[in-house]
Amino acid sequence: MPPAAQSNTTGTFKSFFNSRFRGTVNFNDTNYILMGTLDSSLPPFECTSVEFKSIKRSTFVGTRAIEGRIGPETLDLTLDDGTKIQGKFKEKMGKNQEVVCGSIAFTPF
């Protein structure tokens, strides 16, 4: 019987001024780069340890819609397949929480 698929893991998440973000995650011994955009104009932020919860193998196929809340100290996003991305910022962001949506794509490397 094959081992059960991993459903939680950790990674990184960093945004830039132009509402773009990128990060990394390892899932079932495969490394992925994640990149995407958010609809909000947020100041840059960085999470050096982000939890990815309830991941499915299909999470890493195609582009996914993403929505959730960002700031002032945490990241709390949900992908359209139910995967949660949660983390604490390296440094507190000046803005209050904002509801955001956007898209995310994963590339194995």
In the chain, where the domains are located = 9-108
Of residues 70 and 98, the one with the higher pLDDT is 70
Question: What pLDDT score does 3 carry?
Answer: 43
pLDDT digits (tens, 9 = 90+) for 43-52: 888 998 999 9
CATH number of 9-108: 2.40.128
Three-class DSSP labels, 73-94: CEEEEEECCCCEEEEECCCCCC
Mean pLDDT of 23-39: 91
Highest mean pLDDT among 69-73, 79-83, 93-97: 79-83
